[in-house]
Chains A and B, each alone.
Chain A
Amino acid sequence: DAEITQSPRHKITETGRQVTLACHQTWNHNNMFWYRQDLGHGLRLIHYSYGVQDTNKGEVSDGYSVSRSNTEDLPLTLESAASSQTSVYFCATGTVELPATNEKLFFGSGTQLSVL
C-alpha cells in the first residue's frame, strides 16, 4: 500500500542547530506539503511543492526551507532551530484532479520536535 513516512517520529535538539525532518511518499503524488500543529492554532502551512524543483512558501515559512529533488521526498530543514519551532510537524501529499481544484490530502503520522 502507498504511504507517507516521516522520520524521525521524535526529535530533541538545541537552539541554533540545523535540523532536517524527512518526508517520503510512495503515492507518486506531485504535491507535497509541510504543516506545523500548535495548540490554539490548528495546522499552519510552512512550505509546499507542486513538483520536482518547485518549492513555495506558506503562511509560516520563516526559519524553514525545503528542497524537492525527486517526486518521493520533501525534506524540511530548520536552518537554526529556535524554541518557537517546538511543534508537531506533518507532511502531506495530494493529487490534483483538475487545475485549480482542491485536492484530497494524505497526511503522515507526524514528527514531534522539541527545541531546548
Chain B
Amino acid sequence: AQKVTQAQTEISVVEKEDVTLDCVYETRDTTYYLFWYKQPPSGELVFLIRRNSFDEQNEISGRYSWNFQKSTSSFNFTITASQVVDSAVYFCALSEAPQGGANNLFFGTGTRLTVIP
C-alpha cells in the first residue's frame, strides 16, 4: 500500500536560514510520481514539482532544491536562504502508475513552515 510520511509537523526558522522538509514514501510500484505542493496562508495549493521514479537527478529551481533518493524512499525539499514569503504548509504526495493519475494521488499530512523575520 502507498503511504507518504512527513514526520515534521511544524518547523520554525529564522529568515535566511536553510531548511529541509523531509518526505518518506512507501509504494510497491516501480513506476510512480512524487510531488511537492505549497499551501500559503491564502489557502490554495500551488504545484512546485513533479518527479518520476526513473529520474533520480536532483533538481534546483532558484532557492528550492529537491533530493530524490530511491534507496531511502525519500524526496526531501530544501529551501535555501529562507524568506518570510516561504511561510506555508508544504505537502508531499505520491501517485502510482499505471493506475496513476491524480485519482491515485496520496498526500502526506503536511509540514507547516514558519520563517521568522
Chain A-chain B contacts (Cβ-Cβ < 8 Å), number: 68
B87 within 8 A of A: no
B78-105 interface code vs A (CB 8 A; 1 in, 0 out)? 0000000000000101010111111101
Instruction: Determine the distance from Cα of A16 to Cα of B101 in the docked complex, in whole angstroms.
Output: 34
The yes or no answer to A28 lying at the interface (CB within 8 A) is no
> Which of B12-20, B44-52, B57-65, B67-75 touches A?
B44-52
The count of residues in chain A whose C-beta lies closer than 8 Å to any C-beta of chain B is: 27
Residues of chain B with a CB closer than 8 A to A42's CB: 4, 91, 107-110
Q: In the complex, what distance in Å separates the CA atom of A88 from the CA atom of B98?
A: 29
Given contacts A41-B109, A43-B91, A100-B98, contact A58 B103 (CB under 8 A): yes
Closest-CB distance, B23 to chain A (whole angstroms) = 12
Please determine whether B43 and A31 come into contact, CB atoms closer than 8 angstroms. Answer: no
Task: State in angstroms the CA–CA spacing of A88 and B91 once bound together.
Answer: 15
* Cβ-closest 4 pairs across A and B: A107-B45, A42-B107, A109-B44, A102-B33
Q: Which residues of B contact A (CB under 8 A)?
A: 4, 33, 37, 42-47, 50, 52, 91, 93, 95, 97-103, 105, 107-110
